[in-house]
Structure 1
Amino acid sequence: MNKKKGTENMVSYGVIGLGRFGSALARRLAEAGEEVIVVDCSESKVKELRQYTENAYVADELSKEVLEEIGIQNCDTVIVGIGEKIDTCILTTLNVVNLGVPRVIAKAISSDQGEVLEKIGAEVVYPERDMALRLARRLLTGSVLDNISLNNNVEIAEVRLTEKSAGRSVLEMDLRRSFGLNIIALEHNGKTDTEVDPAYIFKGDEILVVIGKKENITRFEKEK
């Protein structure tokens, strides 16, 4: 096992498991300037991440002692991306929680696995399921380009307008009163504006980024 003694300074993120999910996440965090510790049993996967972070370790086992020596306890947030190996995922998550990491996020591939992870103190994400649901939504409602689900049935969605909206102003459409939606940004001709003038007249081919209840976004899609 290639590892170093854990650092004393706090590190923003730790990523355990460098499959497609973990590797992509670690790279994006590192590219954003965050300090990241990455851990995997595969030397080749760890080697690929060393161009993004010096804190890249090969670990043949993920016991509490090994993780502590690596320095996982110094992370503010740790993401466990070993969803497919359910027993390893659960035990590793438990070890990270017991090391006192403030925020632990674990990848799950089933609701049963997710339920266990939540009970031991982790937040749970379902990358494959969430991606499938987002794709299904885009296929079923062609006007929605992408969406992000938040808490309490609230979503951020990109909605492409149609000719039906052409000639109407932002003030006239009044999405807040009519649909309970707030405009976050407007995209047109390759430009994005986050400060939308109430007097702006829609051309009918814009993309609106809105936030609101899921059912209100669906209603707006049908009536816009």
Structure 2
Amino acid sequence: MFGKQRQEDATSYGIIGMGRFGSALACTLAEAGKEILVLDQDEEKVRRMRSYTEHAYVVRDLQKETLQETGIQNCDQVIVCIGDKVDVSILTTLNVINLGVPHVVAKANSPEQGEILKKIGAEVVYPERDMAIRLAKRLISGRVFNLFELDERTDISELKMSGVLAGQTVEKASLRQRYGVNIIAISHSGQLTTDVRPDYVLKQEDSLVVIGDRQKIRQLGDDLVG
């Protein structure tokens, strides 16, 4: 069962929901050497994650008994990345909390959903709303602006674009291959989109919201100068 033989000082993560946010989070944690367990109802999404962890499971439902069978209760932290299906998000979060996971984070798409998640004991994140607000209120600082710290090494940050990447597609920029950094959103003209396609052409006015190792994000920021 997951987590039974891991080192005592290692933090393990469970991630439920392999959408764009969940999969980027899982890939980044795995690439940082973290022990992860991932769950989704989509067999293809789970299959893709098996190159990052042997603990990737297809689940037909997210009932307490099913979750327990995967060993997710042995994780130190669990992130529920099911923002769109409010009822499933709330019930899954409640089930994980009732299994005794010490720290549960849940993605929410609305204040109402977030309030319920908070009341049942979860830490709530609003990825799109929080990123949009912080981008709008950005202080003039360096090229890298930190948005959210996931742990002692992993950040979600905003990167101001430069001529170095402008005109390239996301695929050609190859930030994941070159820096181990995943683009999870792009802000353009005040509009934030999380539907980042490989053929999207990066523009000088864009800001990239990325997830990855803190030092590698800073390295990317330094390389963008010029």
Q: TM-score range, shorter-chain basis?
A: 0.5 to 0.7
Aligned equivalent of 1:18: 18
Q: Secondary structure at the match of 1:15?
A: strand
**Equivalent pair of 2:117/2:123 in contact (CA under 8 Å):** yes
1:107 aligns with 2:107: yes
- C-alpha offsets along residues 8-48 of structure 1, whole Å, 9 cap, x if unaligned? 34660000000000000000000000110000000010011
**Equivalent pair of 1:80/1:92 in contact (CA under 8 Å):** yes
Aligned equivalent of 1:51: 51
**Equivalent pair of 2:82/2:88 in contact (CA under 8 Å):** yes
- C-alpha offsets along residues 136-195 of structure 1, whole Å, 9 cap, x if unaligned? 234xx5656443367xxxxx9999xxxxxxxxxxxxxxxxxxxxxxxxxx99x948xxxx
Distance in 2 (CA, whole Å) between partners of 1:44 and 1:158 is 31
Letter of the 1:122 partner, please give it: A
The offset of 1:84, in angstroms, is 0.6
Aligned with 2:4 (options 5, 8, 13)? 8
The offset of 1:80, in angstroms, is 0.1
1:24-63 paired onto structure 2 within 5 Å = 24-63=24-63
Distance in 1 (CA, whole Å) between partners of 2:111 and 2:117 is 10
Aligned equivalent of 1:147: 145
Aligned equivalent of 1:131: 131
**Equivalent pair of 1:77/1:104 in contact (CA under 8 Å):** yes
Distance in 1 (CA, whole Å) between partners of 2:3 and 2:76 is 13
Letter of the 1:38 partner, please give it: V
**Equivalent pair of 2:39/2:59 in contact (CA under 8 Å):** yes
Distance in 2 (CA, whole Å) between partners of 1:42 and 1:157 is 30
The offset of 1:132, in angstroms, is 1.1
Task: Point out which structure has higher relative CO (alpha carbons under 8 A, 6+ apart).
Answer: 2
What's the TM-score, normalizing by structure 1? 0.62
Distance in 2 (CA, whole Å) between partners of 1:158 and 1:131 is 12
- Number of residues of Structure 1 aligned to a counterpart in Structure 2: 156
Which consecutive unaligned segments of at least 5 residues does structure 1 have?
A: 151-155, 160-185, 192-204, 206-224
The offset of 1:128, in angstroms, is 0.6
RMSD: 3.1
**Equivalent pair of 2:18/2:40 in contact (CA under 8 Å):** yes
Distance in 2 (CA, whole Å) between partners of 1:128 and 1:91 is 22
Segments of 4+ in structure 1 off by > 6 A? 156-159
Q: Based on CA coordinates, which of the two structures has the bigger radius of gyration?
A: 1
The offset of 1:134, in angstroms, is 2.8
Change in 2 beyond 3 A, CA 1:134/1:96: same
Change in 2 beyond 3 A, CA 1:190/1:117: closer
The offset of 1:131, in angstroms, is 1.7
Distance in 2 (CA, whole Å) between partners of 1:29 and 1:158 is 20
The offset of 1:6, in angstroms, is 5.0
Letter of the 2:33 partner, please give it: G
Change in 2 beyond 3 A, CA 1:43/1:100: same
Which consecutive unaligned segments of at least 5 residues does structure 2 have?
A: 149-156, 161-217
What's the TM-score, normalizing by structure 2? 0.61
Letter of the 2:55 partner, please give it: N
